[in-house]
Amino acid sequence: MEMLQVVRADGEYDAKLEPNLRDEDLKKMYRYMLLVRRFNERMLLLQRQGRIGFFIESTGEEAAQVGSAFALARSDWVYESYRDPGVCLVRGVPLKTLVDQLMANADDPNKGRQMGVHWGYREWNLVSISSPVGCRLSQAVGTAYAAKFKKDNIVCVTSFGDGATSQGEFHSAMNFAGVFKVPVVFLCKNNQYAISLPVRRQTASANIAMKAEAYGFEGVLVDGNDVLASYKAMKAAVDKARSGGGPTLIEAVTYRMGGHSSSDDPSKYRSTEETELWKTRDPITRFRRYLMKKGLLTESEDRRTLEEVENELVSTIKESEKVPPPTLYSMFTDVYAEMPWHIKEEADELMGEKGQ
């Protein structure tokens, strides 16, 4: 299976494959990628300092996140993964909302009830993340089936890692989607590791994309470190699904530069040489070279953009850290439309004991 690639690691590109995007959109993509990179670095630092409890970074996967999200309509539904802050940002989620979630403060729409990096925002059609690996594939297929039944003109996208393809849910979801031709796109971000297990230990197939053939629909292999290739593959898949053409499995080949989470030490299971090799394929460096070759970015503009991103992050973190934690009373809310008398009685008793 041939891998879709528009921009090579050195910034050279195939003009025949370039997607039809405005110069402004290309610059937006680049800024989002920079923001995701610095967000990852900053949040991991905050975790190490004890200012947030847990974090899962996605350094090295910025292109697959931003490129795929750019191809979606506002009305589409996304079952994102915990390695998808870029998807959230492109969808319109404010940076502060993501930081609030990690700090579990009173401004977090979920009131600190979800585990860190488990995004979920109804306003932006981002379904709250479930921790069990693979379960969201079936959820996305169910939503897409309902949309087809109701004749809603939407597409569902579910994002997952290579490890999820070893779960039974992957096969169940793919089979149902193929049989009923539901408007869903499966985005497998193959970052080479399911925590410490390399992808070569998960499948004997030459790649993951080819597995779609067994379920009766198209599989696409794409360079996940190429933001334009990621966009192009997702745009084609979404357009096909929206027009009644059924599902697509996209395998975006990328690399997880950091650990699985802030609790992981990747040096225990992979070599420095491997990581250094993938650094030469860095998605941000690649796209920067592309923009400069196109005359859309200068060195001074690049420095200014990075400075703007840095300032936005610093000010946002300061603002979020001023927000107090959720009130005790919040543990009784958001369960019933109208609070039952016995729950209200318990809430009032607790607040009275706490003098609030």
Residue boundaries of the structural domains of the chain: 23-325, 328-356
Question: If pLDDT is split at 50, 70 and 90, which confidence band does 293 have?
Answer: very high
Catalytic residue among 260, 281, 286, 288: 260
- Nearest Cα neighbor of 188 from 136, 261, 122, 236 is 136
- Which overall architecture, per CATH, does domain 23-325 show? 3-Layer(aba) Sandwich (3.40)
Cα separation, 37 vs 287, in Å, equals 13
Q: What is the mean pLDDT of residues 174-188?
A: 98
Q: Are 123 and 94 in contact (CB under 8 A)?
A: no
Catalytic residue among 83, 118, 256, 288: 256
**Tokens 């697959």, residue located:** 64
Q: Are 31 and 309 in contact (CB under 8 A)?
A: yes
User: For 217-232, how does the pLDDT look when each residue is reduced to its tens digit (9 = 90+)?
Assistant: 999 999 999 999 999 9
Cα separation, 74 vs 97, in Å, equals 18
Q: Which residue has the higher pLDDT, 159 or 354?
A: 159
Longest CA–CA separation in the chain, Å: 70
Catalytic residue among 42, 113, 171, 269: 269
Q: Are 230 and 295 in contact (CB under 8 A)?
A: no
Cα separation, 356 vs 353, in Å, equals 8
State the chain's mean pLDDT as an integer: 96
Using the CB atoms, write b or e for 267-293: b if 16+ within 10 Å.
Answer: eeeeeeeebeebeebbbbebbbbbbee
Q: What is the pTM of this model?
A: 0.96
Please say if 342 is a catalytic residue. no
> Is pLDDT above 90 for 354?
no
Q: What pLDDT is attached to residue 14? A: 97
SS3 labels along 129-171: CCCCCCHHHHHHHHHHHHHHHHCCCCCEEEEEEHHHHHCHHHH
E-strand ranges in 133-289 read 156-161, 184-190, 193-194, 197-198, 218-223, 248-253
DSSP state of 81: -
Please say if 82 is a catalytic residue. no
Residue type, 41: E
Q: What is the mean pLDDT of residues 233-241?
A: 98
Question: If pLDDT is split at 50, 70 and 90, which confidence band does 11 have?
Answer: very high
Using the CB atoms, write b or e for 50-62: b if 16+ within 10 Å.
Answer: eebeebbbbbbbb
- Nearest Cα neighbor of 193 from 250, 136, 261 is 261
Cα separation, 315 vs 96, in Å, equals 9
Question: If pLDDT is split at 50, 70 and 90, which confidence band does 356 have?
Answer: low
Cα separation, 63 vs 51, in Å, equals 28
**Tokens 């953009």, residue located:** 305
Please say if 304 is a catalytic residue. no
User: For 58-106, how does the pLDDT look when each residue is reduced to its tens digit (9 = 90+)?
Assistant: 999 999 999 999 999 999 999 999 999 999 999 999 999 999 999 999 9
Cα separation, 319 vs 321, in Å, equals 6
Task: Give the number of other CB atoms < 10 A from CB of residue 338.
Answer: 6
Cα separation, 274 vs 210, in Å, equals 25
